[in-house]
């Protein structure tokens, strides 16, 4: 099969589209013929060696979102050949499973769900991991209508889906975005936009505290976001996975994040401030089914910023690396 692969970590030039052996199915896995796969910030961090480099095995195929056809499943599997499936691969605290920027993958069955017929492969691949992350950060079933939710980076992959999930739960959504993206996040559903290039969200929300903050930026945003929460509120800290927006070294970023989480957990547990909820998203087919139903009924719509063929995987990674996608970037295999 064809796959985008790298044999050493580094900048995007280490990526090459090459012929590799097709994957073999292990216990609990199904072989999926991939139609489309999302590109995520994590792909860039892992490739650059910024995500626990010691734990990475090379050569490596990037990619953790998946949408395609089941090619082969074990007897008794819930899936059969030809099923349309989607999902995300698991990322642990210091390890990551990747491999979707390729024509085929042996994927864990427990990470997959059926794609609703109303949803295309492209939409499914672009949505899977950001929607699961947004769902788990918002803790959707705990949201109550009328609550005020602040979602940072509303124009990004996680952000623009989180806005829609929070709106669908009946909350009042405030988001941060740059000037060029304010209209986009309003169209996606945000009730209020704070243009972070000219306004400080802490000042804007000083006398109007919120119930929930979803933060995928971290760094100094953590303490500042906690400051705009009600004491009874919740700070969903989407972990940056070994890298910080502020560009600290890997070790410093990691230690800072661990310290922020510990501090937040203690404050929350002692009832001295908002609860701190570290978010490390994990595959969840039940949540995918619910997200799929919202997509099928038009209540959640993914915005695909740019689509690249597999041959241009390097360009796709470079586009992601600029850090300014509006919605999602996609790689298609045909
Ligand atoms: N822990 C987990 O399970 C997990 C899962 C998925 C992702 N993540 C991490 O979460 C982070 C976000 O992922 P993503 O897929 O949403 O990224 P993304 O799509 O690349 O998001 C980029 C967005 O961030 C916005 N942005 C940048 N600086 C900002 C600021 N100061 N204030 C407000 N918005 C800002 C940009 O919008 P503008 O152009 O408007 O600035 C851009 O739209 C990454 O670090 C990723 O690795 C963690």
Per-residue pLDDT tens for 283-329?
999 999 999 999 999 999 999 999 999 999 999 999 999 878 999 99
Q: Is 31 in the pocket of ligand 1 (CB under 6 A)?
A: no
Which atom of ligand 1 approaches the CA of 320 most closely? 20
Nearest to 38 by CA among 101, 91, 92, 95: 101
Which atom of ligand 1 approaches the CA of 45 most closely? 47
First to last CA, the chain: 12
Q: Which residue has the higher pLDDT, 268 or 208?
A: 208
Q: Is 185 in the pocket of ligand 1 (CB under 6 A)?
A: no
Do residues 39 and 168 both lie within one domain? no
Do residues 8 and 114 both lie within one domain? yes
Do residues 124 and 155 both lie within one domain? no
pLDDT at 254: 78
Among 264, 279, 294, residue at a domain's last position? 279
The contacts of residue 175 (CB under 8 Å, 6+ apart) are 150, 151, 152, 154, 159, 163, 185, 190, 192, 193, 194
Across all residues in the chain, what is the average pLDDT? 93
* Pairwise CA distance, residues 68 & 62, whole Å: 16
pLDDT at 109: 97
Cα-based distances in Å from 88 to 81, 91, 184, 260? 19, 9, 26, 27
* Pairwise CA distance, residues 277 & 213, whole Å: 10
pLDDT at 294: 98
Say if strands 304-309 and 328-332 run parallel, antiparallel, or are unpaired. Answer: parallel
Nearest to 140 by CA among 64, 261, 236: 236
Domain CATH number, residue 187: 3.40.50.720
Split into its structural domains, the chain has a count of: 2
Do residues 118 and 186 both lie within one domain? no
Q: How far is the CA of 71 from the centre of ligand 1 (A)?
A: 33
Q: What is the dihedral of CA 282, 287, 292, 294, to 10 degrees?
A: -130
Cα-based distances in Å from 118 to 223, 301, 305, 311? 41, 12, 20, 28
Among 246, 261, 279, residue at a domain's last position? 279
Q: Is 181 in the pocket of ligand 1 (CB under 6 A)?
A: yes
**Burial of 184 from C-beta contacts in 10 A (0-12 / 13-18 / 19+):** middle
pLDDT tens, residue by residue, 235-265: 999 987 655 444 566 677 778 888 888 988 9
Do residues 63 and 168 both lie within one domain? no
Question: Where residue 334 falls among pLDDT bands split at 50, 70, 90?
Answer: confident
Match 């740059």 to its residue by tokens.
178
Interior CA angle at 181 toward 288 and 279, to 5°?
35
Do residues 135 and 272 both lie within one domain? yes
* Pairwise CA distance, residues 213 & 157, whole Å: 16
pLDDT at 92: 77
Do residues 103 and 181 both lie within one domain? no
Do residues 260 and 322 both lie within one domain? no
Do residues 119 and 190 both lie within one domain? no
Do residues 147 and 262 both lie within one domain? yes
What per-residue string of b and e applies to 213-235 under the rule 16 or more CB within 10 Å gives b?
A: bbbbbbbebbebbbebbeeebbb
Q: Whose CA is nearest to atom 2 of ligand 1?
A: 280
Range of the domain at 120: 2-128+283-332
Domain CATH number, residue 82: 3.90.180.10
Percent of the chain with pLDDT over 90: 82
Residue 193 predicted with pLDDT over 70: yes
Which atom of ligand 1 approaches the CA of 282 most closely? 3
pLDDT tens, residue by residue, 3-45: 999 999 999 999 999 999 999 999 999 999 999 999 999 999 8
Cα-based distances in Å from 23 to 107, 206, 270? 10, 54, 49
Do residues 184 and 243 both lie within one domain? yes
Do residues 198 and 309 both lie within one domain? no
* Pairwise CA distance, residues 315 & 101, whole Å: 13
pLDDT tens, residue by residue, 57-91: 899 999 999 999 999 999 999 999 999 999 999 98
């Amino acid at each position: 099969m064809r796959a985008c692969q790298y044999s050493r970590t580094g900048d995007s030039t280490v990526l090459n589209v090459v012929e590799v052996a097709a994957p073999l199915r292990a216990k609990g896995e199904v072989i999926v013929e991939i139609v489309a796969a999302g590109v995520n910030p994590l792909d860039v961090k892992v490739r650059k060696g910024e995500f626990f480099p010691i734990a990475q095995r090379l050569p490596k195929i990037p990619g953790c979102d998946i949408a395609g056809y089941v090619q082969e499943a074990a007897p008794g599997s819930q899936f059969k050949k030809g099923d349309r499936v989607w999902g995300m691969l698991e990322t642990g605290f210091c390890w990551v499973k990747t491999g979707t920027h390729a024509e085929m993958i042996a994927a864990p069955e427990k990470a997959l769900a059926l794609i609703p017929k109303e949803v295309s492969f492209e939409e499914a691949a672009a949505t899977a991991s950001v929607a699961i992350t947004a769902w788990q950060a918002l803790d959707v079933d705990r949201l109550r209508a009328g609550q005020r939710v602040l979602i940072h980076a509303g124009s990004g992959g996680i952000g623009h889906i989180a806005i829609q999930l929070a709106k669908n739960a009946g909350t009042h959504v405030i988001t941060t975005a740059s000037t060029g993206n304010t209209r986009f996040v309003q169209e996606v559903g945000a009730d209020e936009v704070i243009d972070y290039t000219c306004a400080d969200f802490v000042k804007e929300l000083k006398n109007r505290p919120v119930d929930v903050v979803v933060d995928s930026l971290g760094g100094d945003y953590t303490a500042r976001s906690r400051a705009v929460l009600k004491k009874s509120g919740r700070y969903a800290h989407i972990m940056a996975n070994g890298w910080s927006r502020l560009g600290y070294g890997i070790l410093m970023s990691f230690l800072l994040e661990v310290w922020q989480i510990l501090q937040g957990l203690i404050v929350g547990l002692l009832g001295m401030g908002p609860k701190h909820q570290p978010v490390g998203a994990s595959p969840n087919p039940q949540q995918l089914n619910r997200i799929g139903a919202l997509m099928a009924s038009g209540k959640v719509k993914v915005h695909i910023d740019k689509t690249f063929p597999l041959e241009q995987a390097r360009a796709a990674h470079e586009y992601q690396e600029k850090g300014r996608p509006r919605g999602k970037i996609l790689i298609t295999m045909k």
